[in-house]
């Protein structure tokens, strides 16, 4: 009898090649093309490294790099600590106890995410400044004003933490609410006290969820440009801006970008490593939610206070400060030009959201239609842009598009056609950059709704004689509409808030609300930044509430 | 008409095979059942034939045309195979009529054809409803109508009755196969239930761990199973090992294997004298009432335990049991 299914012959190179030829369809090639397209900016950073550093590199290494590294290290450590304290404590308290206004606080704790960090930075600068809100308040009650200087590293760490802690809050709360109930009951039955249960049982179990949130926070910390610039703290991002705009040395910007990428991937690796070590977490979701305890009256208000502090610091105070400024500057800022900028901001955000969602759909479905298993893993690489700071992506796009434009101008010039820059400094480059940076924001909600559609549904369509594309439009699209809609909204907000990438790549004559706020603040007119900031915040708030509803449903 | 030739599929590069060296053929108009436990490779086989998976080795051809092989592959939408999924997989956002029209959108007389299908499955008035407004049995019939509408040359039913309770199941089974008989289509019917298979199939193919262990007419499978696994699918069967041979004083050839169905072991004294070649005494250690019958757990002289069922009410503590040599099943393995 023929030894069929023999590993040696069936999985020999020859028959593998045969099957590869059979299974290699156009979807595989298209998936690969999209992934390469999305990874190009990062690949260019790698390629440009070989061009060698710029003239000032040795100067930077000697005088500035230690500062960048030390500041980044300081920010990583202190933001982690603060974010963990704010995020985990509030998540645990709202999941475990019932206290006054708990339900309202549960979603208020997410709202700081609606305010970009640099705007929180501007607001706090105004609160603590000479003649600022705090000074006025103390004067009013006849107290001596002692100025606390926050325009430094520590102040920046505080500002970033108070605006980013909701990432940790959201993922920790999701764990506590949905997965902790059985264990919690078991621990209580065994007579273990509340405090010990939290520190010995809940905290170690929630660690993967908490660290996942923390890594998102640190990516945002390293991505920040606006707040660091305003607070005068030298970080990698401000260094990239300085070498690009002031020193006009792209080579140096590339080297700093590469270093920053290394730092970020180390953080991601640490996360993966620590999650792998925690194999004991049960993957099964527990449908039963935690039974909340009703604490004693005195404790009730203490818990309320502890949960309210991050909301107060991260949302209420900055918003009050901005509203106060908005009243002072309304007549000056609110004019036709401002409306025009708002319109541009909306337009750019909606178009880039649609483009980004389009690419996410292509990536998800092309890789699904590819018959090669390898391609399905490759598709995930296209999502990595979210980890890369906006400034780095901008540099990775700026350099090759400049070179491409120079070449195009020369070629077209030879043909007698006079043109200016075609890609660089136009909206094309900007939209491309947003797609690279925010692809994951679109990819994840679409993928999770797509996973809810059982495979047998599209399979039935194919067996009934309908091809992939038509199946998508007739069957899959109507079933994943909500996922696509939330993806558009989420990317829309992220683009509205985005600053560093926009600053580098935006066309000269185009402005967004974020850029307008930044420019006011840089020009010593921080009060005037309040109105564009509030516009961004209110646009972002509606979907943050909507997103929270989705999270609670999950 | 359908020809499967040494088909193999592994999901982990050859460490384990979901399907290994499977070969068989179907003639036009056949109704063939594929029976096996879960994990035996039934679903993989179906998905390979429908073109939803690609084989690592071997080939699938339909009406002389190769659909899948190591270097050829026809897309599922080009195969003209009808498939009814276990979970029906009706398109939830389309009405019953739209579901049926889906696969015949390009045909000229699609409206008439769809209505004809609705009539065939007895849902003439239900065309405007949405799938979630139908009962499980009705959904099943819509799925059947949808699969039959494009007039497929082969119809595959993947565990079509496993979502239904026993009462509904028997009723629906006969309904479904009445409909199928009217169309005369060739059918491949996947199930883990031998009752389903025996009641409708001309031929049954048994899968075990991804391999075909037997393909035979339904009646033959009961009388001449290829191994103990196949025999056990049709009722409890015990291997006649050395101990059992000693207990019954029946020396059998050691080279091959023998087994006896528990239901063929006789307890009734009349039958023992007239109908049994091999007899032994056994101690009754447990009696379990099963309504009109009693299940006995017996212990033989050699210590072996056996379970038999009898309708006799008066059972002593020690009884005689026996079987006829013509009921002995003989296997090659």
What percentage of chain A exceeds 70 in pLDDT?
94
Predicted local distance difference test score (pLDDT) of residue B333: 67
Residue ranges of alpha helices (H) inside A425-507 are: 427-452, 456-463, 468-471, 477-497, 500-505
Same domain, A127 and A219: yes
> Do A183 and A265 belong together in one domain?
yes
Query: Where on the phi/psi map is residue B318: left (φ > 0), alpha (ψ -120 to 50), or beta?
Result: beta
The average pLDDT across A205-234 equals 92
Rounded to a whole number, what is the distance in Å from the CA of A34 to chain B's nearest CA?
24
CB contact under 8 A, A463 and B52: yes
Tell me the mean pLDDT in the region A498-509: 92
For residue B75, give the DSSP letter.
-
Closest partner CB to A4 (pick from B6, B79, B81): B6
Cβ(A318)–Cβ(A123) below 8 Å = yes
Cβ-proximal residues to B72 (8 Å cutoff; 6+ apart), any chain: A22, B59, B66
pLDDT at A464: 95
Which pLDDT belongs to residue A289? Answer: 67
What pLDDT does A7 receive? 54
Higher pLDDT, B314 or A66: A66
Q: What is the pLDDT of residue A4?
A: 46
Chain A residues with CB-CB distance to B80 below 8 A: 465
Q: Is A14 within the bounds of a domain?
A: no
pLDDT band at B317 (very low <50, low <70, confident <90, very high): confident
Read off the tokens for A289: 């939610």
Distance CA A337, CA A102 (A): 42
Average pLDDT over residues A6-16: 75
State residue A351's pLDDT score.
97
Rounded Cα gap, residues A448 and A480, in angstroms: 9
Give dist(CA B133, CA B290) in Å, integer. Answer: 40
What is the count of structural domains for chain A? 2
* Gap between the Cα atoms of B228 and B236, Å rounded: 10
Q: Identify the domain boundary among A306, A330, A354.
A: A330
The residue ranges of every structural domain in chain B are 2-233, 261-331
Burial of B166 (0-12, 13-18, 19+ CB in 10 A): exposed
Three-class secondary structure assignment of A19-76: HHHHHCCHHHHHHHHHHHHHHHHHHHHHHHHCCCCCCCHHHHHHHHHHHHHHHHHHHH
Cβ atoms < 10 Å from Cβ of B270: 8
Beta carbons of A463 and B54 less than 8 Å apart: no
- For residues A299 and A369, state if they share a domain: no
Question: CA-CA distance, B258 to B331, in Å (whole number)?
Answer: 6
CATH classification code of B2-233: 3.40.50.300
CB contact under 8 A, A463 and B72: no
* Same-domain check for residues A476 and A432: yes
Same domain, A76 and A30: no
Residues A227, A363 share a domain: no
CB contact under 8 A, B54 and A466: no
Is A7 in the B-facing interface, judged by CB distances under 8 Å? yes
| A250 lies in the same domain as A354 | no
DSSP β-bridge partners for residue B111: none
**Which residues of chain B does A463 touch, with a Cβ-Cβ cutoff of 8 Å?**
50-52, 76-77, 79, 81-83, 147
Residues of B in contact with A2 (CB under 8 A): 6, 21
pLDDT above 50 (res A150)? yes
Is the pLDDT at A431 greater than 90, yes or no?
Answer: yes
Query: A402 and A443, same structural domain?
Result: yes
**Mean pLDDT, chain A, as a whole number?**
88
Cα of B14 to nearest chain A Cα, Å? 5
Nearest to B57 by CA among B26, B16, B22, B12: B22
Check CB contact under 8 Å for A11 and B89. no
pTM for the full model? 0.87
Quick one: pLDDT band at residue A278, thresholds 50, 70, 90?
low
Number of Cβ within 10 Å of residue A187's Cβ equals 19
Distance, CA of A526 to CA of B216 (rounded, Å): 86
- Tens of pLDDT, residues B13-65: 888 899 999 999 999 989 999 998 888 999 999 999 999 999 999 999 999 99
Pick from B72, B85, B91: CB nearest A22 = B72
Q: What is the pLDDT of residues B106-146, one digit of tens each?
A: 899 999 999 999 999 999 999 999 999 998 889 999 999 99
**CA–CA separation, A30 and A37 (whole Å):** 10
Contact, B150 vs B82, CB < 8 A?
Answer: yes
Polymer length in residues for chain B: 333
Q: Do residues A46 and A75 share a domain? A: no
- Residue A69 neighbours by CB under 8 Å, 6+ apart: none
Per-position b or e across B290-322, b if 16+ CB within 10 A of its CB: eeeebebebebeeebebebebeeeeeeeebbbb
B324 burial (CB, 10 Å; 0-12 / 13-18 / 19+) is middle
- Taking each helix axis from N to C end, the angle separating A250-277 and A26-49, rounded to the nearest 10 degrees, works out to 120
Strand order in the sheet with B57-62: B19-26, B2-9, B57-62, B65-68
Residues 6+ apart with CB under 8 A from A336: none
* Structure-model confidence comparison of residues A462 and A192, the more confident one: A462
A29 and A153 belong to one structural domain: no
Q: Where is the domain boundary, A265, A297, A330?
A: A330
Structure ipTM over 0.95, yes or no: no
- Evaluate if residue B301 carries a pLDDT over 90: no
Inside any domain, residue A553: no
Contact B208, B40 (CB under 8 A): yes
Q: How confident is the model at residue A3 (pLDDT cuts 50, 70, 90)?
A: very low
- List pLDDT tens digits, range B194-211: 888 888 888 999 999 999
- Tell me the pLDDT tens digit for each residue of B229-282: 888 888 888 888 888 888 888 877 766 788 888 888 888 888 888 888 888 888
CB pairs under 8 A between A and B: 104
Chain B interface includes A191 (CB < 8 A) = no
Furthest-apart CA atoms within chain B: distance in Å: 76
Backbone angles phi, psi at B65, to 5 degrees: -105, 130
Coil vs helix vs strand at B109: coil
Domain assignment present for residue A227? The answer is: yes
Whether residue A3 lies inside any domain: the answer is no
Sequence-ordered list of residues with C-beta below 8 angstroms from that of A531, at least 6 positions apart, any chain: A326, A329, A330, A333, A334, A338
> What's the confidence (pLDDT) of residue A287?
55
Q: Convert the pLDDT of each residue in A357-416 to its tens digit.
A: 999 999 999 999 998 888 888 888 888 888 899 999 999 998 888 888 888 888 888 888
Under an 8 A CB cutoff, do B54 and A462 touch?
no
Question: What's the whole-number average pLDDT of chain B?
Answer: 89
Contact status, residue B91 vs residue B134, Cβ threshold 8 Å:
no
| C-alpha–C-alpha distance, residues B301 and B324, integer Å | 20
CATH number at residue A269: 1.10.3720.10
A131-135, A174-178, B250-254, B286-290, range with greatest mean pLDDT: B286-290
Q: d(Cα B108, Cα A94) in Å, to the nearest integer?
A: 62
Which residue does chain A place closest to B51, by CA atoms?
A463
> Could you tell me if A482 lies within 8 Å of chain B, comparing CB atoms?
no
Rounded Cα gap, residues B147 and A90, in angstroms: 54
Burial tier of B253 (Cβ tally within 10 Å: 0-12, 13-18, 19+): exposed
Please give the Cα distance from B82 to B69 (Å, whole number): 20
Architecture field, domain B261-331:
Beta Barrel (2.40)
Residues A462, A464, A469, A472: is their CA dihedral positive or negative?
Answer: negative
Range of the domain at A186: 56-330
A543 assigned to some structural domain:
no
User: In this complex, which of B50, B70, B93 lies closest to A463 when CB atoms are compared?
Assistant: B50
The number of residues in chain A equals 554
Which residues, other chains included, contact B124 with Cβ-Cβ below 8 Å and sequence gap of 6+? B115, B118
Domain identity same for A256 and A403 = no
Q: Are residues A367 and A488 in the same domain?
A: yes
Residue B294 pLDDT greater than 90, yes or no: no
Residue with tokens 């491409």: A404
* In a domain? residue A530: no
Q: Which residues does chain A have within 8 Å of residue B102's beta carbon, measured at their own beta carbons?
A: 461, 464, 466, 474
């Amino acid at each position: 009898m023929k030894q069929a299914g023999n590993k040696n012959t069936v999985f020999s190179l020859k028959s593998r090649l045969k099957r590869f030829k059979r299974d290699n369809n156009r979807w595989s090639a298209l998936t690969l093309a999209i992934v390469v397209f999305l990874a190009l900016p990062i690949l260019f950073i790698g390629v440009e490294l070989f061009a060698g550093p710029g003239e000032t590199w040795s100067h930077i290494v000697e005088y500035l790099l230690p500062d960048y590294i030390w500041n980044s290290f300081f920010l990583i450590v202190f933001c982690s600590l603060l974010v963990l304290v704010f995020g985990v404590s509030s998540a645990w308290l709202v999941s475990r106890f019932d206290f006054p206004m708990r339900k309202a606080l549960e979603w208020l704790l997410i709202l700081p995410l609606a305010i970009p960090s640099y705007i929180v930075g501007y607001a706090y600068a105004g609160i603590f400044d000479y003649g600022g809100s705090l000074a006025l308040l103390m004067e009013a009650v006849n107290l001596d004003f002692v100025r606390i200087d926050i325009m430094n590293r520590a102040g920046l760490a505080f500002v970033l933490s108070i605006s980013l802690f909701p990432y940790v809050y959201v993922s920790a709360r999701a764990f506590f609410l949905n997965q902790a109930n059985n264990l919690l009951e078991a621990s209580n039955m065994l007579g273990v006290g509340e405090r010990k249960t939290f520190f010995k049982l809940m905290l170690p179990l929630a660690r993967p969820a908490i660290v996942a949130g923390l890594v998102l926070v640190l990516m945002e910390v390293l991505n920040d440009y606006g707040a660091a610039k305003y607070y005068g703290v030298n970080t990698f991002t401000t260094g990239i801006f300085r070498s690009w705009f002031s020193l006009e040395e792209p080579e140096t910007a590339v080297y700093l970008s590469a270093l920053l990428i290394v730092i970020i991937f180390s953080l991601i690796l640490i996360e993966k490593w620590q999650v792998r070590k925690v194999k004991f977490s049960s993957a099964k979701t527990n449908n039963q939610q935690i039974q909340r305890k009703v604490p004693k009256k005195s404790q009730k208000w203490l818990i309320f206070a502890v949960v309210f502090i991050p909301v107060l610091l991260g949302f209420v105070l900055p918003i009050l400060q901005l509203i106060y400024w908005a009243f002072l500057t309304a007549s000056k800022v609110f004019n036709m030009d401002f409306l025009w900028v708002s319109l541009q901001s909306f337009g750019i955000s909606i178009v880039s959201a649609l483009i980004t969602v389009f690419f996410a759909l292509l990536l998800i479905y092309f890789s699904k239609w590819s018959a090669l298993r390898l391609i399905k893993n490759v598709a995930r690489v296209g999502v990595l842009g979210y980890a890369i700071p906006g400034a780095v992506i901008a540099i990775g796009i700026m350099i090759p598009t400049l070179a491409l434009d120079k070449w195009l101008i020369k070629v077209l010039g030879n043909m007698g056609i006079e043109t200016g820059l075609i890609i660089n400094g136009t909206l094309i480059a900007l939209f491309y950059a947003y797609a690279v940076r925010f692809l994951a924001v679109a990819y994840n909600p679409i993928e999770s709704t797509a996973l809810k559609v059982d495979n047998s549904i599209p399979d039935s369509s194919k067996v009934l004689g309908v091809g992939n594309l038509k199946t998508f439009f007739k069957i899959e699209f109507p079933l994943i509409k909500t996922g696509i809609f939330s993806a558009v909204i989420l990317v829309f907000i992220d683009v509205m808030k985005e600053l560093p990438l926009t600053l580098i790549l935006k066309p000269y004559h185009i402005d967004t609300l974020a850029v307008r706020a930044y420019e006011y603040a840089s020009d010593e007119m921080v009060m005037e930044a309040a109105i564009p900031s509030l516009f961004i915040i209110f646009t972002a708030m509606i979907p943050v509430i909507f997103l929270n509803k989705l999270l609670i449903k999950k | 008409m359908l020809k499967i030739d040494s088909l193999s599929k592994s999901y982990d590069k050859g460490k384990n095979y979901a399907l290994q060296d499977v070969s068989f053929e179907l003639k036009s108009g056949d109704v063939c059942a594929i029976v096996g436990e879960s994990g035996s490779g039934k679903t993989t086989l179906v998905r390979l034939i429908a073109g939803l998976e690609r084989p690592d080795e071997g080939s699938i051809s339909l009406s002389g045309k190769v659909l899948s092989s190591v270097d050829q592959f026809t897309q599922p939408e080009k195969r003209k195979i009808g498939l009814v999924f276990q979970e029906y997989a009706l398109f939830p956002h389309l009405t019953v009529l739209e579901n049926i029209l889906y696969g015949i959108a390009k045909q000229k007389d699609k409206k008439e054809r769809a209505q004809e299908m609705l009539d065939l499955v007895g849902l003439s008035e239900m065309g405007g409803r949405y799938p979630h407004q139908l009962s499980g049995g009705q959904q099943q019939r819509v799925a059947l109508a949808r699969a039959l509408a494009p007039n497929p040359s082969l119809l595959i039913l993947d565990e079509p009755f496993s979502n239904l309770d026993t009462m509904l199941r028997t009723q629906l089974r006969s309904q479904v196969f009445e409909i199928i008989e009217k169309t005369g289509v060739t059918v491949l019917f996947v199930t883990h239930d031998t009752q389903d298979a025996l009641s409708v199939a001309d031929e049954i193919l048994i899968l075990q761990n991804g391999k075909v262990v037997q393909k035979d007419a339904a009646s033959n499978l009961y009388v001449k199973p290829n191994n103990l696994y196949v025999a056990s699918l049709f009722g409890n069967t015990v291997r006649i090992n050395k101990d059992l041979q000693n207990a019954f004083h029946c020396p059998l050839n050691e080279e091959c294997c023998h087994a006896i169905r528990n239901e063929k072991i006789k307890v009734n004294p009349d039958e023992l004298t007239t109908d049994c070649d091999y007899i032994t005494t056994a101690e009754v250690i447990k009696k379990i009432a099963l309504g009109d019958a009693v299940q006995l757990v017996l212990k033989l002289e050699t210590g072996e335990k056996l379970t038999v069922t009898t309708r006799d009410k008066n059972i002593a503590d020690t009884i005689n049991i026996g079987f006829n040599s013509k009921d002995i099943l003989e296997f090659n393995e």
